[in-house]
């Protein structure tokens, strides 16, 4: 029998967005809000690449619109926010801010509390960025992967599938590093604007 997380994952891959709110509500009722937030972030993590970031942001938006508590769970260490920073996705980060943080701040007139919200997010983002950077390692051509081979046609190169996967992972990691930098800079800017 297919469980709720498998149904949501199938919904992601079959682009059955209209069914998603009902499935999210079922996820929350089965697991509770905190665990549901974690499970949903895990499903987004499995789907995420920087190429699919805008789609994943839409899936995050649907979850937040379905039940805003999914973005509040464990705040400021919310799984959706942590996912955005971990993947260095400006799309996910902006979605989290637009759909949850900005409405939260709009209801609050206390500038000091608003500053504290951004400060808390900034602190979490720095911690995630440092943890990620400590886990990167060098990848060296000739040791970790090989170069390409000339194809039969002029200008065509062939590459082993394993080497392509390594280079693709390098590209994802690089984009994550740049994205985390941009997220941290934006949070610093927002703290200064409050």
Mean pLDDT, the chain, rounded, equals: 93
Predicted local distance difference test score (pLDDT) of residue 170:
92
Per-residue pLDDT tens digits for 78-126:
999 999 999 999 999 999 999 999 999 998 888 889 999 999 999 999 9
- At residue 74's C-alpha, the angle toward residues 127 and 189, to 5°, is 50
**Please, are residues 61 and 95 in contact by the beta-carbon 8 Å criterion?**
yes
Pairwise CA distance, residues 58 & 81, whole Å:
14
Predicted local distance difference test score (pLDDT) of residue 126:
97
* Count of the separate structural domains present in the chain: 1
Pairwise CA distance, residues 178 & 89, whole Å:
9
Predicted local distance difference test score (pLDDT) of residue 142:
85
SS3 annotation, 76-129: CCCHHHHHHHHHCCHHHHHHHHHHHHHHHHHCCCCHHHHHHHHHHHHHHHHHHH
Task: Show the domain range for 151.
Answer: 4-193
Tokens matching residue 171: 């590209």
Burial call 2-31: b when 16+ CB within 10 Å, e when fewer? eebbebbbebbeeeeeeebeebbeebbeeb
- How many angstroms separate the Cα of 177 from the Cα of each of 95, 174, 188? 19, 5, 17
pTM over 0.85: yes
Predicted local distance difference test score (pLDDT) of residue 2:
79
Per-residue pLDDT tens digits for 57-71:
999 999 999 999 999
Phi, psi of 88 (to 5 degrees): 65, 35
Tokens matching residue 40: 């949903």
Predicted local distance difference test score (pLDDT) of residue 7:
94
Tokens matching residue 65: 């619109």
Per-residue pLDDT tens digits for 145-173:
888 888 888 888 889 999 999 999 999 99
**Please, are residues 183 and 84 in contact by the beta-carbon 8 Å criterion?**
yes
Predicted local distance difference test score (pLDDT) of residue 74:
96
- How many angstroms separate the Cα of 96 from the Cα of each of 58, 68, 91, 106, 131? 10, 10, 9, 15, 21
- Residue 141 confidence class, pLDDT cut points 50, 70, 90: confident
**Please, are residues 80 and 70 in contact by the beta-carbon 8 Å criterion?**
yes
């Amino acid at each position: 029998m297919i469980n709720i997380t498998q149904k949501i994952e199938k919904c992601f891959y079959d682009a059955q967005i209209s069914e998603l709110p009902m499935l999210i509500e079922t996820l929350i009722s089965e697991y509770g809000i905190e665990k549901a937030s974690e499970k949903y972030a895990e499903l987004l993590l499995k789907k995420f690449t920087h190429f699919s970031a805008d789609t994943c942001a839409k899936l995050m938006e649907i979850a937040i619109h379905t039940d805003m508590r999914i973005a509040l769970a464990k705040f400021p260490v919310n799984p959706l926010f942590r996912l955005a920073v971990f993947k260095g996705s400006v799309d996910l980060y902006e979605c989290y801010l637009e759909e949850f943080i900005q409405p939260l701040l709009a209801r609050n007139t206390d500038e000091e509390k608003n500053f504290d919200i951004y400060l808390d997010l900034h602190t979490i983002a720095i911690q995630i960025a440092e943890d990620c950077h400590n886990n990167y390692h060098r990848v060296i051509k000739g040791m970790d992967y090989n170069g390409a081979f000339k194809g039969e046609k002029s200008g065509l190169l062939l590459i082993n599938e394993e080497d392509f996967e390594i280079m693709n992972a390098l590209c994802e990691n690089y984009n994550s590093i740049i994205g985390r930098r941009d997220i941290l800079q934006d949070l610093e800017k927002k703290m200064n604007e409050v």
